[in-house]
Amino acid sequence: MATPAELGPPPSRSLPGGWTGHAQPYIAVAAAPRPGILLDRDGTIIVDHGYVGSVDRVELIDGAAEAIAEFNRRHIPVAVVTNQSGVARGMYGANDVDKVHQHLARLLTTNQARIDLFLYCPYHPEGVVKRFARPSCHRKPGPGMAKTAEAALNLDLAASWVVGDRHEDIGMAEAVGASAIYLGSDPLKLPRVWSFPSLAAAAPFILERVAR
Protein backbone atom coordinates (compact mmCIF):
# COMPACT_ATOMS: atom_id res chain seq x y z
CA MET A 1 0.00 0.00 0.00
CA ALA A 2 1.33 3.42 -0.93
CA THR A 3 2.16 5.92 1.79
CA PRO A 4 0.86 9.51 1.92
CA ALA A 5 4.29 10.82 0.93
CA GLU A 6 4.40 8.56 -2.14
CA LEU A 7 0.93 9.58 -3.27
CA GLY A 8 1.29 13.31 -2.71
CA PRO A 9 -1.69 15.57 -1.99
CA PRO A 10 -5.16 14.10 -2.49
CA PRO A 11 -6.92 14.80 -5.77
CA SER A 12 -9.80 17.27 -5.82
CA ARG A 13 -13.15 16.02 -7.06
CA SER A 14 -16.72 17.24 -7.13
CA LEU A 15 -19.19 15.48 -4.88
CA PRO A 16 -23.00 15.49 -4.87
CA GLY A 17 -24.98 17.64 -2.49
CA GLY A 18 -23.86 21.13 -3.41
CA TRP A 19 -20.34 21.16 -2.01
CA THR A 20 -16.97 19.76 -2.98
CA GLY A 21 -14.31 17.76 -1.28
CA HIS A 22 -11.37 15.43 -1.78
CA ALA A 23 -10.41 12.09 -0.30
CA GLN A 24 -7.23 10.13 0.14
CA PRO A 25 -7.35 7.36 -2.50
CA TYR A 26 -5.53 4.77 -0.40
CA ILE A 27 -8.11 4.58 2.38
CA ALA A 28 -9.71 1.14 2.54
CA VAL A 29 -13.34 1.20 3.65
CA ALA A 30 -14.08 -1.20 6.49
CA ALA A 31 -16.68 -3.94 6.08
CA ALA A 32 -18.62 -2.85 9.18
CA PRO A 33 -19.45 0.73 10.20
CA ARG A 34 -16.84 2.16 12.53
CA PRO A 35 -16.33 5.22 14.74
CA GLY A 36 -14.76 8.24 13.09
CA ILE A 37 -13.64 11.73 14.00
CA LEU A 38 -15.11 14.77 12.25
CA LEU A 39 -12.92 17.82 12.71
CA ASP A 40 -13.73 21.46 12.17
CA ARG A 41 -10.87 23.22 10.39
CA ASP A 42 -10.30 26.83 11.50
CA GLY A 43 -9.81 27.04 15.26
CA THR A 44 -9.38 23.26 15.52
CA ILE A 45 -6.57 22.22 13.15
CA ILE A 46 -5.35 25.61 11.91
CA VAL A 47 -5.38 29.04 13.51
CA ASP A 48 -8.60 30.91 12.82
CA HIS A 49 -7.33 34.05 11.10
CA GLY A 50 -10.82 34.72 9.73
CA TYR A 51 -11.88 33.47 6.29
CA VAL A 52 -8.71 31.54 5.49
CA GLY A 53 -8.82 31.36 1.70
CA SER A 54 -5.13 31.33 0.76
CA VAL A 55 -2.25 29.03 1.66
CA ASP A 56 -0.15 31.83 3.13
CA ARG A 57 -2.69 32.15 5.95
CA VAL A 58 -2.56 28.46 6.93
CA GLU A 59 -0.94 27.98 10.34
CA LEU A 60 -1.17 24.69 12.20
CA ILE A 61 -2.28 24.88 15.81
CA ASP A 62 0.32 23.41 18.16
CA GLY A 63 -0.26 19.71 18.73
CA ALA A 64 -3.03 19.34 16.16
CA ALA A 65 -0.97 17.37 13.62
CA GLU A 66 0.32 15.06 16.33
CA ALA A 67 -3.22 14.39 17.54
CA ILE A 68 -4.36 13.54 14.00
CA ALA A 69 -1.32 11.28 13.53
CA GLU A 70 -2.32 9.37 16.66
CA PHE A 71 -5.85 8.91 15.32
CA ASN A 72 -4.27 7.59 12.11
CA ARG A 73 -2.09 5.13 14.02
CA ARG A 74 -5.21 3.78 15.71
CA HIS A 75 -6.87 3.36 12.27
CA ILE A 76 -9.66 5.82 13.12
CA PRO A 77 -11.03 7.61 10.03
CA VAL A 78 -10.60 11.39 10.17
CA ALA A 79 -12.65 13.86 8.11
CA VAL A 80 -12.57 17.65 7.96
CA VAL A 81 -16.03 19.26 7.90
CA THR A 82 -15.86 23.03 7.48
CA ASN A 83 -18.24 25.85 6.64
CA GLN A 84 -16.67 28.08 4.00
CA SER A 85 -19.12 30.92 3.52
CA GLY A 86 -16.25 33.03 2.20
CA VAL A 87 -17.00 31.41 -1.16
CA ALA A 88 -20.62 32.61 -1.10
CA ARG A 89 -19.50 36.02 0.13
CA GLY A 90 -17.11 36.41 -2.81
CA MET A 91 -14.02 36.59 -0.61
CA TYR A 92 -12.32 33.64 -2.37
CA GLY A 93 -13.26 30.89 -4.78
CA ALA A 94 -13.94 27.17 -4.50
CA ASN A 95 -10.57 26.49 -6.11
CA ASP A 96 -8.91 28.49 -3.34
CA VAL A 97 -10.50 26.24 -0.72
CA ASP A 98 -9.18 23.19 -2.55
CA LYS A 99 -5.68 24.74 -2.63
CA VAL A 100 -5.84 25.41 1.11
CA HIS A 101 -6.85 21.81 1.77
CA GLN A 102 -4.13 20.43 -0.49
CA HIS A 103 -1.58 22.62 1.29
CA LEU A 104 -2.89 21.50 4.68
CA ALA A 105 -2.65 17.86 3.56
CA ARG A 106 1.01 18.40 2.65
CA LEU A 107 1.74 20.06 6.00
CA LEU A 108 0.15 17.17 7.84
CA THR A 109 2.11 14.63 5.78
CA THR A 110 5.36 16.15 7.05
CA ASN A 111 4.07 15.33 10.53
CA GLN A 112 3.12 11.73 9.56
CA ALA A 113 -0.56 12.69 9.70
CA ARG A 114 -3.36 12.64 7.15
CA ILE A 115 -6.98 13.62 6.67
CA ASP A 116 -9.02 10.86 5.04
CA LEU A 117 -11.71 13.15 3.66
CA PHE A 118 -12.01 16.93 3.27
CA LEU A 119 -15.55 18.30 3.06
CA TYR A 120 -16.73 21.90 2.98
CA CYS A 121 -19.91 23.83 2.44
CA PRO A 122 -19.57 27.00 0.31
CA TYR A 123 -23.20 28.12 0.72
CA HIS A 124 -24.68 30.94 2.76
CA PRO A 125 -28.16 32.48 2.43
CA GLU A 126 -26.67 35.99 2.57
CA GLY A 127 -24.02 35.31 -0.06
CA VAL A 128 -23.31 37.71 -2.91
CA VAL A 129 -22.24 35.03 -5.40
CA LYS A 130 -25.54 33.90 -6.90
CA ARG A 131 -24.51 30.27 -7.36
CA PHE A 132 -23.80 29.90 -3.65
CA ALA A 133 -26.33 32.32 -2.14
CA ARG A 134 -28.80 29.89 -0.59
CA PRO A 135 -29.37 27.74 2.48
CA SER A 136 -27.91 24.23 2.51
CA CYS A 137 -28.31 21.21 4.74
CA HIS A 138 -24.56 20.77 4.37
CA ARG A 139 -23.87 23.97 6.26
CA LYS A 140 -23.25 23.23 9.93
CA PRO A 141 -25.21 22.78 12.17
CA GLY A 142 -27.01 20.86 9.43
CA PRO A 143 -26.22 17.13 9.18
CA GLY A 144 -25.23 17.06 5.50
CA MET A 145 -21.44 16.87 5.73
CA ALA A 146 -21.59 14.33 8.56
CA LYS A 147 -23.96 12.17 6.53
CA THR A 148 -21.65 12.36 3.53
CA ALA A 149 -18.65 11.37 5.65
CA GLU A 150 -20.74 8.51 7.02
CA ALA A 151 -21.34 7.17 3.51
CA ALA A 152 -17.83 7.83 2.17
CA LEU A 153 -15.95 6.32 5.13
CA ASN A 154 -18.55 3.81 6.36
CA LEU A 155 -18.90 5.49 9.74
CA ASP A 156 -21.09 4.70 12.71
CA LEU A 157 -22.08 8.27 13.54
CA ALA A 158 -23.57 7.30 16.90
CA ALA A 159 -20.10 6.08 17.92
CA SER A 160 -18.26 8.99 16.26
CA TRP A 161 -16.94 12.31 17.54
CA VAL A 162 -17.30 15.87 16.26
CA VAL A 163 -14.61 18.33 17.36
CA GLY A 164 -14.86 22.08 16.90
CA ASP A 165 -14.75 25.52 18.47
CA ARG A 166 -18.20 26.78 17.48
CA HIS A 167 -21.76 26.04 18.50
CA GLU A 168 -22.45 24.99 14.91
CA ASP A 169 -20.11 22.02 15.41
CA ILE A 170 -21.99 20.95 18.51
CA GLY A 171 -25.27 21.36 16.63
CA MET A 172 -24.11 19.04 13.86
CA ALA A 173 -23.09 16.43 16.42
CA GLU A 174 -26.53 16.64 18.01
CA ALA A 175 -28.21 16.39 14.60
CA VAL A 176 -26.55 13.05 13.81
CA GLY A 177 -26.35 11.57 17.31
CA ALA A 178 -22.56 11.84 17.65
CA SER A 179 -20.56 12.82 20.71
CA ALA A 180 -18.95 16.25 20.68
CA ILE A 181 -15.81 17.99 21.87
CA TYR A 182 -16.06 21.75 22.27
CA LEU A 183 -12.78 23.62 22.06
CA GLY A 184 -13.00 26.77 24.13
CA SER A 185 -12.26 28.41 27.45
CA ASP A 186 -15.89 28.34 28.61
CA PRO A 187 -17.09 24.72 29.04
CA LEU A 188 -20.47 23.79 27.59
CA LYS A 189 -22.76 21.86 29.92
CA LEU A 190 -24.69 19.72 27.46
CA PRO A 191 -25.29 15.97 27.17
CA ARG A 192 -22.52 14.15 25.28
CA VAL A 193 -20.45 17.33 25.02
CA TRP A 194 -17.02 17.65 26.65
CA SER A 195 -14.84 20.76 26.66
CA PHE A 196 -11.09 21.01 26.15
CA PRO A 197 -8.73 23.86 25.28
CA SER A 198 -7.34 22.20 22.15
CA LEU A 199 -7.47 19.15 19.90
CA ALA A 200 -4.20 17.98 21.40
CA ALA A 201 -5.70 18.08 24.89
CA ALA A 202 -8.86 16.29 23.74
CA ALA A 203 -7.15 13.50 21.79
CA PRO A 204 -6.34 11.14 24.72
CA PHE A 205 -9.93 11.47 25.99
CA ILE A 206 -11.34 10.60 22.56
CA LEU A 207 -8.93 7.72 22.01
CA GLU A 208 -9.76 6.15 25.35
CA ARG A 209 -13.46 6.09 24.48
CA VAL A 210 -13.15 5.01 20.86
CA ALA A 211 -11.01 2.05 21.99
CA ARG A 212 -13.71 0.77 24.35
Given the residues 40, 116, 165, 169, select the one marked as catalytic.
40
Phi, psi of 97, deg, nearest 5: -65, -45
Q: Is 130 exposed, middle or buried (0-12, 13-18, 19+ CB in 10 A)?
A: exposed
Confirm whether 42 is a catalytic residue. Answer: yes
Annotation marks residue 40 as catalytic:
yes
Q: What secondary structure, in 3-state letters, does the chain show?
A: CCCHHHHCCCCCEEECCCEEEEECCCCCCCCCCECCEEECCECCCECCCCCCCCHHHCCECCCHHHHHHHHHHCCCCEEEEEECHHHHCCCCCHHHHHHHHHHHHHHHHCCCCCCCEEEEECCCCCCCCHHHCCCCCCCCCCCHHHHHHHHHHCECHHHCEEEECCHHHHHHHHHHCCEEEEECCCCCCCCCEEEECCHHHHHHHHHHHHCC
Please count the other Cβ atoms lying within 10 Å of the Cβ belonging to residue 56. Answer: 8
Active site residues: 40, 42
